[in-house]
Chains A and B, each alone.
Chain A
Amino acid sequence: DAKTTQPPSMDCAEGRAANLPCNHSTISGNEYVYWYRQIHSQGPQYIIHGLKNNETNEMASLIITEDRKSSTLILPHATLRDTAVYYCIVRVVRGSGNTGKLIFGQGTTLQVKP
């Protein structure tokens, strides 16, 4: 699975959009980009994933660059409850070598401030 790079921390004002970047320059064609978050020692929570098209769900939007070497998770209206560590993970979903393992890096600690 490709390695990802995220900034260690970010701040965001409550009610504003939070844009969390992730670099994955070695991503392969069959690797998806997944985002999870972990709120203070709770179990990680799935947010969204995508292959090459932009994706949106009730929690967030995922913007993947055309060359797929980076992506941005967007929380459109951040609340205090969005304060968490956000993990960007790249992994093969199907095919040989798929262990189901998620490789969690250091993630980005997002602090939403009033």
Chain B
Amino acid sequence: DADVTQTPRNRITKTGKRIMLECSQTKGHDRMYWYRQDPGLGLRLIYYSFDVKDINKGEISDGYSVSRQAQAKFSLSLESAIPNQTALYFCATSDQGRETQYFGPGTRLLVL
């Protein structure tokens, strides 16, 4: 089984809908991250969490919220989806001691 999983893998939604993307990890890492990637561009950080009680905004957090339900789970919500949130979303984890990040397979989101 994959160490970092994301659900759903693909999602089509309409403008104004609330949706949630979920991330789970079995690596035992304490740090988790959400990134988005737009076509032809690098990844940009949305939110990150260094432990269950720690949530931090990244560079593009507007329009998004997160929940760290447990060490292994980190969810990203779009409160009211808009078309420019159409992107590829990646979850990542890292261990405090090593800092190397391990990425999930991504969720492709289309907002109509």
User: Which residues of A does B touch, CB under 8 Å?
Assistant: 34, 41-46, 49, 87, 93-94, 99-107
Contacts and interface: CB of A to CB of B under 8 A. Distances in A.
B48 A107 contact: no
Given A41-B88, A46-B100, A104 B48 contact: no
B68 interface: no
A99 B42 contact: no
Interface of B is mostly: strand
Q: Choose among A34, A99, A106, A107 the residue with the greatest number of B CB atoms under 10 Å from its CB.
A: A99
Contacts of B88: 41
Nearest to B105: A43
Given A46-B101, A46-B102, A104-B42, 6 more contacts: A43-B103, A44-B92, A94-B99, A100-B31, A102-B43, A102-B101
A43 B90 contact: yes
Contact count band on B: 20 to 34
A87 B41 CA distance: 11
B56 A44 contact: no
A101 B94 CA distance: 11
Interface string B21-52: 00000000001010000000111110010100
A13 B103 CA distance: 28
A44 B43 contact: yes
B4 A93 contact: no
A78 to B, nearest CB: 22
A43 B56 contact: no
A24 B43 CA distance: 19
Nearest to A32: B99
* Residue from B41, B43, B48, B108 having most chain A Cβ neighbours under 10 A: B43
5 contacts: A44-B101, A46-B102, A99-B45, A101-B59, A104-B44
